[in-house]
A and B are shown apart, each in its own frame.
Chain A
Amino acid sequence: MSRAHRSDPTHASRDGVLRRWGIPVGIGVAVAALIAGVFWVQQEPATTPTQGSGGSSTSSEQPAAIEHPESVAAPDLSSQEGRDPDDQLAEGPVDAPVVLVMFSDFQCSFCAKWSDETLPEMREYVERGELRIEYRDVNIYGEDSERAARASLAAAMQGEHAQYHALLFEDGEIRSGQGLSEESLVELAGQIGLDTEQFAADMNSEQVAETIAENAQQGIDLGAMSTPAFIIGGTPTAGAQPTEVFTELVDKALAESEG
């Protein structure tokens, strides 16, 4: 029996979202697992592997036994950094030594928690010119998330992304479904003094929809089906871990960037 036709099992993620472990289309289940709430959580340092057995085919031409690895190598995802000077969903210098890409969803409670607790500390690095943050909304929770993502870009187009983003995650909480209706989102824009007419037009524009769809696709292509997920200095990590985990990762990436 080949396994090529096995049925798709499912498994609940930490966020309570069902995620598929089964036969993938495209990148595959392995990549889906990549950000399934446990997206390359901090790598344990590789220790000296144990000596492998000799194997059975041992002619003088056989290669030396391959050591047994103890952990999985994390990829270098630096290529996923936009560093686009026109990117309105980014904070910090385009040429910052370290980029943090955040894959998020406006209905993800852990994303709200991270934005409330950890983002302020990350912004200290931004202020020092050491870090650039690029926001990518994957909108895995559907239409309301996607609308909120478009709204955040509309706010960004008026120079108020950070403030609007903070309102959507106020006090580390997510807004309810009604709180993400178009009316509510426009009203929220008014609260921070944005041109609400322009805001509504931008939020519903084709260009904004396209940008948000592209950003979401980037996350989906990487398997970011559980949020929040991050790429810090090219290294993926997942989950709203304690702030010190992120400061350590950024510090490490900064040290590496200095050679």
Chain B
Amino acid sequence: MRRRSVLAALPLGLLGLSACGPDGGGEPAGPAPAAPVEHPEPVQVGELAEVVEYTEVRLPLEMTPMVVVDPGWTAVPLQLDGIFLGYREEEEQLRFLAVDQDGTVLWRADRPLSCTGYVLTRGPKKTPIAVLADLAAAEQEGAWAMTLTAYDLRTAEPLWGPVEAPGPQAAPGLVYAAPTDQAMGEGGPRTALSGVTGEVLLAEVDLADGRILGEHLGALVRTEGSELLASGAAGEELWRSPLPAGVEPARARLRGTVDPTTSFAVIGDQDSPGAVIDLADGRVIAEGADAVARDHVLEITVVVSGTTVRGLEDDGTEKWTHEDPEPLQLLCAGERLAYAVRPEEGTLVVLDTNHGLMVQPYDVDLTGPLAVPQVFSADTAAAVRIEEQFFLVTTEFDEDFGLRE
């Protein structure tokens, strides 16, 4: 098994630009979009990513027997169906790397440095797909237009595109909006694309009284008056329910990311806690929530609201609560533990999902930066962050584990 040492972290130059270019959302404005890369087509790899020496990673103890690989990601990856997709920022381009949860690099694809926005969703026949942004020459001389191309997440087979993007990504999933002059990158009317074809599924301008909140695994979530509803790839209504109490329709939003292993999402507004909704069927999982995560090992749903963390059984029973001195930022949950950050104190809060007790899952005999889980697959592979690097704790047991000194 090839092993190597952990290299020094790469500096990250660009922070969070939507899809491609500085007009995508946010500040400070970045550099002008880089030119398209010469070969944007994905390249099949099919090799195990470089294995990281166990002595160089300070993991939660539960993860220590597993093989850890370094795909080279420099930003937190996304995950769907046990495949993680993330990118590495290189000098002149981004290199996307799709890695199976067993550590196999499936494929790679290069994109312009400014095209950091990408989406994992479902395409034809519910296939998991990756939608990558790119740049193409626009009609206006010297300008670039943003395009989107969908690939089979496992095989990198092109499925649709390139199609011109309606604008930068504006909400979770395949939802885009043309930029406006508003502050904070607030876009104009939103447009949702179909993961099956790449065509426009729904445009906000066509809605009499509603807003597009996001797209998740093929389901389009939107408001209609004071109701919340989801429709499928063919426009069929999947479910409909009242908006969570206290959420104004005009300010409703999907908060944070949506966990593809559960489809649980927090729907609220900018200023107050929302409700956890299962986007698959519209069920209300919990009220009063800022963030949600799921531990698939103990089947506990972890809900954070300000300083309160709750562990919920499947029937909604509150198994435990934890009250923290600070409002917590939830990272993820998995393998019996939930991870959150105290932003003021700058520390990691780790709760066991069985009792809600704070625990110390790292061997404190070791020194060095913590490997902090960011994203779990349903099978408990995990992307972990170590300073500015992102490694993958695979589902593969290290056969040499018992021989370690």
Contact = CB atoms under 8 A, between A and B. Distances in A.
B341 A69 contact: yes
Interface in B243-288: 253-257
B77 A60 contact: no
B348 A28 contact: no
A1 B67 CA distance: 13
B83 to A, nearest CB: 14
Interface string B342-365: 110111111010110111111111
Interface in A33-55: 33-34, 36-41, 43, 46-51, 53-55
A60 B185 contact: yes
Interface string A45-77: 011111101111111111101111111111110
B238 interface: no
Contacts of B255: 61, 63
A21 B64 contact: yes
Main secondary structure of the interface of A (DSSP, over half): loop
Contact of A53 (B12, B24, B372): B12
B256 A30 contact: no
A76 to B, nearest CB: 8
Contact of B25 (A27, A58, A72): A58
Nearest to A38: B364
Interface size class of B (residues with CB under 8 A): 35 or more
B289 to A, nearest CB: 13
A66 B340 CA distance: 9
Contact of B26 (A6, A47, A58, A76): A58
A73 B172 contact: no
Interface stretch (B136-144, B151-159, B225-233, B396-404): B396-404
Tell me which of B26, B117, B345, B357 has the highest count of chain A C-beta atoms within 10 A of its own C-beta. B357
A43 to B, nearest CB: 8
Nearest to A34: B360
B45 interface: no
A248 to B, nearest CB: 18
A36 to B, nearest CB: 8
Nearest to A3: B380
B46 interface: no
A204 B130 CA distance: 69
Contact of A58 (B16, B102, B331, B369): B16
A65 B15 contact: yes
Interface string A101-123: 00000000000000000000000
A200 to B, nearest CB: 39
B153 to A, nearest CB: 14
B381 to A, nearest CB: 9
B86 A56 contact: yes
B26 A3 contact: no
Contacts of A9: 65, 401-402
A251 B151 CA distance: 61
Contact of B349 (A31, A37, A41, A73): A73
Contacts of A254: none
B170 A59 contact: yes
B347 A1 contact: no
A58 B17 contact: yes
B258 to A, nearest CB: 10
Nearest to A63: B256
The range of chain A's interface size is 35 or more
B224 interface: no
Contact of A59 (B18, B102, B336): B18
B352 A27 contact: yes
A235 to B, nearest CB: 11
B370 A70 contact: yes
B81 interface: no
Most buried by B among A39, A74, A75, A76: A75
A55 B360 contact: no
B104 interface: no
B336 A30 contact: yes
B244 to A, nearest CB: 16
Given A21-B61, A29-B61, A31-B357, A56 B77 contact: yes
A56 B76 contact: yes
Given A34-B360, A67-B341, A73-B348, 13 more contacts: A2-B380, A3-B66, A28-B359, A30-B336, A50-B388, A57-B172, A58-B169, A59-B172, A60-B25, A70-B369, A72-B347, A73-B342, A73-B347
- By Cβ-Cβ distance, the 4 closest A-B pairs, closest first, are A54-B16, A75-B358, A54-B15, A69-B348
Interface of A: 1-4, 6, 9, 21, 24, 26-31, 33-34, 36-41, 43, 46-51, 53-63, 65-76, 223
22 contacts: A2-B379, A6-B65, A9-B401, A29-B61, A29-B336, A29-B361, A30-B61, A30-B360, A31-B359, A36-B363, A37-B365, A46-B347, A53-B388, A54-B12, A54-B17, A54-B75, A56-B76, A58-B25, A58-B116, A68-B387, A72-B361, A73-B348
Interface of B: 12, 14-18, 24-26, 60-62, 64-66, 74-78, 86-87, 102, 116-119, 168-172, 175, 184-187, 214, 253-257, 297, 325, 329, 331, 335-337, 341-343, 345-350, 352, 354-355, 357-365, 369-370, 372, 379-380, 385, 387-388, 395-397, 401-402
